[in-house]
Amino acid sequence: MRVLVIGAGMGGLTASLALRAHGHEVTVYERVRQNRPVGAAISIWSNGVKCLNYLGLGDKVKALGGPMDNLAYVDGLTGDTLCRFSLDPLVEQVGQKPYPVSRAELQAMLFDEVGAENIRLGHNLVGVEDDGETVTAHFENGETATGDVLIGADGAHSTVRQYVLGGPTERRYSGYVNYNGLVPISADLAPADQWTTWVGQGKRASVMPIANGRFYFFLDVPLPLGLSPDKDAYKADLSEYFSGWAPPVQHLIGTLDPATTNRVEIHDIEPFMTWTRGRVALLGDAGHSTTPDIGQGGCQAFEDAIVLAMALQTNTLGIEDALVRYQNRRNERTAELVLRARKRADVTHGVDMAVTQAWYDELSREDGTTIIRGIVANIVGNPVS
């Protein structure tokens, strides 16, 4: 089959690799003119890593991954450790280490695997036409491309989704802003092999090790939507938001480079079950846009890619039927994870401070069992377990 994939993010690129591995001819169309990912880093949980292993990328993703062996929560104001435990029991239960990785390095690795010759940059999809036999993509630059199947991996603001659902979709602001970036690993921040999170006041600061001596950091602050982002003010703003917090958090704010720090107003989309229309299907954030609170958005895009390729492999009742089967294997799992992440976001970010305080109290009694159980629950149900 000839497959048109719209979007060269982590979903579109892995879909391209999975479909190619099953013998299809795949071209990826991407609106930006340069391969440049947004965001600093990402945690690829064990289910996502397994998908990349399945695609033959195991050694490559391992090389990008940081040594995240332990997990700790710290009281942001007092600096007291609330809990600290090894992630070994997680790895034993699910059979794979998770890897926090640089987004730029992940994107470059996937881009190279797909091959620049199979990716058309500067192609902004503006229209889709399905005549029942073929599907045609129309691009802003006047070009068109025709194939047997079109996959909309065009992210949270998807144009393909609008075609599939027949209209626009509302994004829902989750009430907090996430600042993220990379800083050198330093003992003034946290142990180099640990995912450390400081919590308090419905805010959090976090560092996770990625390869080559760097921490991925993020700082979450409940804020109104639409404040004007001014990079020059990031440090002053963060110092105010985290005033009185423990020395490592102050050190993090002092160390970060505002020029390379991202500021994201976190949104999700109410889960919806229709991902296909004729020969067109959604994949990744286009089909299930989530808050990042359980670190599963990208991992679910990887899972979509594998299931899509499997579904198209057995299209005995036709392509449309295979796409519906793909949709039906994916939409319930991703809907549940979007809602789980939303709930986690509310607890973490003080939507009801009594609930958030109860969570802080639980953290001080945690020995790792409950948190690991929660992470395992996100991982099981993946297609390559």
Q: Would you count residue 292 as binding ligand FAD (CB under 6 A)? A: yes
Contacting range for ligand FAD; rule: CB under 6 A; set: 6-14, 60-68, 227-235, 354-362: 6-14
Contacting range for ligand FAD; rule: CB under 6 A; set: 16-24, 64-72, 242-250, 291-299: 291-299
- Cα 272 to Cα 130, 285, 286, distances in angstroms: 22, 12, 11
Minimum distance from residue 262 beta carbon to ligand FAD (Å)? 7
User: Within 10 A of 258 (CB to CB), how many other CB atoms are there?
Assistant: 17
Per rule CB under 6 A, count of chain residues that contact ligand FAD:
35
Selection from 155, 156, 149 nearest residue 132 by Cα: 149
Q: Would you count residue 42 as binding ligand FAD (CB under 6 A)? A: yes
Minimum distance from residue 318 beta carbon to ligand FAD (Å)? 26
In the complex with ligand FAD, the residue whose CB is nearer, 10 or 205, is 10
Contacting range for ligand FAD; rule: CB under 6 A; set: 150-158, 234-242, 270-278, 377-385: 150-158
Rounded to the nearest 10 degrees, how much is the dihedral formed by the CA atoms of 382, 180, 111, 168? Answer: 70
In the complex with ligand FAD, the residue whose CB is nearer, 77 or 272, is 272
When binding is defined by CB under 6 A, the residue of 53, 70, 124, 186 that contacts ligand FAD is 124
Residues 6+ apart with CB under 8 A from 230: none
User: Any idea what DSSP says for residue 258?
Assistant: G
Q: Would you count residue 295 as binding ligand FAD (CB under 6 A)? A: yes
Across 324-354, b (16+ Cβ under 10 Å) vs e yields bbbbebbbebbbebbebbbebbbbbbbbeee
When binding is defined by CB under 6 A, the residue of 27, 159, 276, 382 that contacts ligand FAD is 159
Residues 160-179 that bind ligand FAD (CB under 6 A): 178
Across 232-249, b (16+ Cβ under 10 Å) vs e yields eebeebbeebbeebbebb
* Cα 349 to Cα 54: distance, rounded to the nearest angstrom: 36
In the complex with ligand FAD, the residue whose CB is nearer, 201 or 206, is 206
The H-assigned helical ranges of 223-352 are: 234-241, 247-255, 297-313, 319-348
In the complex with ligand FAD, the residue whose CB is nearer, 43 or 261, is 43
Contacting range for ligand FAD; rule: CB under 6 A; set: 23-31, 91-99, 165-173, 188-196: 23-31
User: Within 10 A of 60 (CB to CB), how many other CB atoms are there?
Assistant: 17
Contacting range for ligand FAD; rule: CB under 6 A; set: 127-135, 149-157, 182-190, 197-205: 149-157
Q: Would you count residue 201 as binding ligand FAD (CB under 6 A)? A: no
Q: Phi and psi for 210 in degrees, rounded to 5?
A: -115, 175
Give residues in contact with ligand FAD (CB under 6 A): 6-12, 29-32, 39, 42-43, 48, 123-125, 153-155, 159, 178, 180, 264, 284-286, 292, 295-299, 301
